A and B are shown apart, each in its own frame.
Chain A
Amino acid sequence: MKTDELIALLATDAKKPATPFPVMRRLGPAALAGAIIALAALFVWLGIRDMGEAVASSSYWMKTLYTAALAVSGFLIAERLSRPGANATRGAFALVAVVAIMLGIGITQLLSTPPEAMRDALLGSTWDRCPWRIVALAIPGLALSLLAMRRLAPTRPTLAGAGAGLFVGGIAATVYGLHCAETSAAFTLIWYTGGVALSTALGAIAGWRVLRW
Chain B
Amino acid sequence: MLRGLAGDAAAHAELLSRMSVYLRRYFARKLGSSDADVEDLVQETLLAIHLKRETWDRAQPFTSWAYAIAHYKLIDQFRRRRVRRTEPLEAAESLFHSDDGDASARLDVDRLLGELPERQRQILSDVKLGGLSSAEAAAKSGMSESAVKVSVHRSLKALIRRVRDEN
> Contact residues of A with B, CB < 8 Å?
1, 3-19, 22-23, 82-86, 152-153, 155, 212-213
Contact = CB atoms under 8 A, between A and B. Distances in A.
B156 A9 contact: yes
B138 interface: no
B76 interface: yes
A8 B68 contact: no
A208 to B, nearest CB: 12
A148 to B, nearest CB: 12
Main secondary structure of the interface of B (DSSP, over half): helix
Contacts of A16: 7
Nearest to B63: A85
B30 interface: no
A23 B55 contact: yes
Contacts of B20: 3, 7
Interface in B57-73: 57, 60-61, 64-69, 71-72
B68 A22 contact: no
Contacts of B12: 10-11, 14
Q: Which interface class (under 10, 10 to 19, 20 to 34, 35 or more) fits B? A: 35 or more
A18 B42 CA distance: 23
12 contacts: A1-B109, A9-B159, A10-B50, A10-B156, A13-B50, A83-B65, A84-B56, A85-B61, A85-B67, A152-B55, A153-B48, A153-B52
B55 A11 contact: no
A84 B60 CA distance: 10
Contacts of B159: 9
B35 interface: no
B35 to A, nearest CB: 15
B84 interface: no
A18 B9 contact: no
A19 B72 CA distance: 24
A5 B128 contact: yes
B69 A153 contact: yes
B156 A155 contact: no
Contact of A6 (B53, B54, B109): B109
Contacts of B71: 155
